[in-house]
Structures are given as C-alpha cells and as structure tokens.
C-alpha cells in the first residue's frame, strides 16, 4: 500500500527539480543575451571602421543571407512541430522532426562557413579592418551556438530513442527548444542589424 504523504513528497521534489532546471536555463539564456548585446554594441561602434577595406555593401549578398535565414526560420518551425509530437507522446514523429531540424541547422552552418571562406578568399578576412573583426566575431559566435545546438539535438535524439519520452527527456527537450528559438531570434537581429543595415 502506497503512502500518500511519501507520494506527495516525491511529486513535489520532481516539480521543484523541474522548476529549478527551467529557472536555471532562463538565467543562462539571459547571460547569453548579455554576450550578444555586447557583440552587437561592438559591431555598431566599429561598423564604419573599414580601414579603406570593403564595407558591408561591398561584400554581403542579401539573397544568399536570405537563404540562410529561411533555413533557420524553417528549423524553428520543425522544432516546434517536434515539441508538439513530444507532448502528445509520439516518439516516431518527434525523432523525424528533430533529424529534420538538425539537417536544416547543419545546412545553415555550412552556408555560413562557405560565406566566411569566400570572404577570406576575396581578401576580406577578420584581420583587414575593425569592421570585419566585429562582423566575424558576432556572426561566428552565433554560428558556434547553432553548432552546439546541433550537437545537443544529437544527444536528445539518442535519449528520446533509448529512454522514451519520460519527464526528464521532455524537460531537456523544452530547454533545447528555448535555446533553439533564442538562436532564431538572435539571427533575425543579425540579419537586420548587420546585413540589411548595410544596404540602407
């Protein structure tokens, strides 16, 4: 016969652990916001310091970056669909959506690396001017975060496949969901503040 008081204590402990994990992850996201705020501020100060090198208008391709943006926005949609599947207890569709999200994220990172390589090849590397140093640092930091997100997606694919959709896995998926959508929001700011601004 189960003890109601012990069961209530157990449920309360699980609820407290979940709340602490979520709150702790929000603190992490806020610290990441501060990092990106500093990088955006630095870029804003240095954007005009081209040292007689190329400016953004000279080296950016809006259609190319729009393609990157579309990939990341689509990955947010697929992740959202995956979370709906997870909450419905549908592991198969969740795994398919997570794989799709990872592939879209990898395509985004691949396009970004190609863009960086092309700029360096054309003599517009990070050492050419303060503007380019700030650009590579800001966009590269975002790309690094997306790469870490893809690795995290791989970990969650493994956990969802082997352990099912228990409370711990769902909580970790929820944290990853916040992280992924946060990166999407940051990229919209990058697209607007770095790329669109160069042509205004």
pLDDT tens for each residue of the chain, 200 residues long: 445 544 444 455 455 567 787 888 999 999 999 999 999 999 999 999 999 999 999 999 999 999 999 999 999 999 999 999 999 999 999 999 999 999 999 999 999 999 999 999 999 999 999 999 999 999 999 999 999 999 999 999 999 999 999 999 999 999 999 999 999 999 999 999 999 999 98
Enter the pTM of the model.
Answer: 0.89
Three-point CA angle 35, 20, 84, nearest 5°: 85
Q: Where are the domains of the chain?
A: 30-198
Q: What CATH number was assigned to the domain covering residues 30-198?
A: 1.20.120.80
**HSE-up of residue 36 (Cα within 13 Å, Cβ side):** 24
56 Cβ contact partners less than 8 Å away, ≥ 6 residues apart: 47, 131, 135, 194, 195, 197, 198, 199
Distance CA 68, CA 60 (A): 13
């Amino acid at each position: 016969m189960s003890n109601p008081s012990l069961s209530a204590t157990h449920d309360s402990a699980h609820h407290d652990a979940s709340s602490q994990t979520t709150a702790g992850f929000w603190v992490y996201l806020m610290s990441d916001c501060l990092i990106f705020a500093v990088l955006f501020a630095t870029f804003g100060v240095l954007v005009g310091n081209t040292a007689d090198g190329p400016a953004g208008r000279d080296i950016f391709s809006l259609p190319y970056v729009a393609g990157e943006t579309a990939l990341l926005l689509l990955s947010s949609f697929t992740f959202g669909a995956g979370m709906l599947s997870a909450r419905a207890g549908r592991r198969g569709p969740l795994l398919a959506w997570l794989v799709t999200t990872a592939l879209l994220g990898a395509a985004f990172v691949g396009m970004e690396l190609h863009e960086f390589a092309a700029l360096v090849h054309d003599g517009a590397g990070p050492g050419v001017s303060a503007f380019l140093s700030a650009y590579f640092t800001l966009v590269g930091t975002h790309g690094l975060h997306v790469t870490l997100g893809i690795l995290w997606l791989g970990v969650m694919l493994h956990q969802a496949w082997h352990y099912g959709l228990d409370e711990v896995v769902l909580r970790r998926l929820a944290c990853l969901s916040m992280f992924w959508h946060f990166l999407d929001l940051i990229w919209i700011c990058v697209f607007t503040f770095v790329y669109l601004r160069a042509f205004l």
